[in-house]
Structure 1
């Protein structure tokens, strides 16, 4: 088998299983583990996967600071935000996670009826300063500056007092095997707590987050109600997520969406 064929097979296994074990692949192909380890090193150098002891895992996405993330895929995030905001109904309690995608939801929220927004992000609360009909509950605690959200015991105690109708969750990565994940353990715990209190949880996911794994697990994909994604993604990119029974909402750039 040619080197490129082996590498293609390794990447197929990684997408299918969420990990690659060098010994298992070597036995399957009748090759030495050294050959497979060399392939894994080369794939890691090419930025295709992340080497770990005994094999490989999907890449962890880069974690630029909050200001830098504002410049990433702004038109896609606007379309996702408009589609998500369309779910909001009069009188509901909505929890908005921190992040640049959820900020687009805040900007697109309806202005012709009343509802309440809870958030542990001061930047999200600031987006709603001039909103005419939204009541805002700001959850406090220790500020995790990378994501501009409150975390820790103080935030947790306040979240336990509310039961949101909808939670719009942010994550740095999602993977059909490894679920939703983020870069900070306390932030992951807060997201998990909010989801446990909410009637429904939705994720806004730009393409760069698909099939990646960050260090701290939030929850399995199957535990959320739906994922908003941009239109035009290849069907095989979304098939593993659909197979988990989660609703996939594909959003057009003009703000129309379909599933």
Structure 2
């Protein structure tokens, strides 16, 4: 329900921060309606939150700035969007051979529904995603090994990179913390990005999985330029205006 009167700036920014934490993004229109103020006021508030490092402004609103977080924390965010992405990405999963899924929770959502692909070989650098793939019934799931990133629960470092590069993949399915038209796909650390790069070097195709809160964002380390990505899968319809700047860069699903 919309608020009947406007709230003062500090309270507005606190509420906007809570909305970003809950949903991953906010739009000017919805936030202005919710808080009973103008879109211009919300735009100024989001500029303040961006200066504080809490938000990243994008066309029509803002997305949450997220640093390294545990797998459990990331799994709790945007579950319905991830489920929709996994459903759409299933059409891109080969019937045989090997695939790689990275340590993202979005790729993990795909791994958890591979129930009709028991004969695939699936390689991942995430213990959580490894278990999800095994629970789905995949007979040959391979964990890369490597150093545990205590902040993200992923496996990184030289051992993980060598293992990632030691197989040939039909497709690699990878998440991203930021998806921007000019910069490409990006992640929270160079170590995270490097494992994805090694997966991709050994793959015939790269499928990027990213929910709409990542669109327009840029994080620390670039993982893929657009000419390295075969398909971008989001929960949005490909015709959605939020994807307009990406439409000429990559195939959208």
Corresponding residue for 2:112? 107
Q: Which runs of 4+ in 1 moved over 6 A?
A: 40-43, 56-60
Report whether the alignment pairs 1:91 with 2:96: yes
- 1:143 corresponds to 2:125: no
How much is the aligned-residue C-alpha RMSD, in angstroms? Answer: 2.7
Q: Is the 8 A contact 2:161 2:198 kept in 1?
A: yes
What's the counterpart of residue 47 of structure 2? Answer: 44
Mark the CA change 1:225 to 1:171 in structure 2 (over 3 Å): closer, same or farther.
same
The 5 Å alignment of 1:1-259 reads 44-47=47-50, 61-63=65-67, 64-111=69-116, 113-231=118-236, 235-244=240-249, 246-249=250-253
Indicate how the Cα distance of structure 1 residues 60 and 175 shifts in structure 2: closer, same or farther if over 3 A, else same: farther
Matched-pair contact (CA < 8 Å) for 2:212–2:236 = no
What TM-score comes out, normalization by structure 1 length? 0.70
* Equivalent-residue separation in structure 1 for 2:75 and 2:45 (angstroms): 33
Q: Note if contact 1:188-1:218 (Cα within 8 Å) is conserved in structure 2.
A: yes
- Which ranges of structure 1 fall in alignment gaps of 5 or more residues? 1-39, 51-55, 250-259
Contact 2:46–2:57, Cα closer than 8 Å, also in 1: no
3-state SS in 2 of match to 1:76: helix
**TM-score normalised by structure 2 residue count:** 0.72
Larger Rg: 1
Tell me, yes or no, if the aligned pair for 1:141 and 1:151 is still in contact at 8 Å: yes
Q: 1:110 to 1:48 in 2, by over 3 A?
A: farther
Distance 2:85 2:57 in 1: 28
Q: Distance in 2 between matches of 1:48 and 1:238?
A: 25
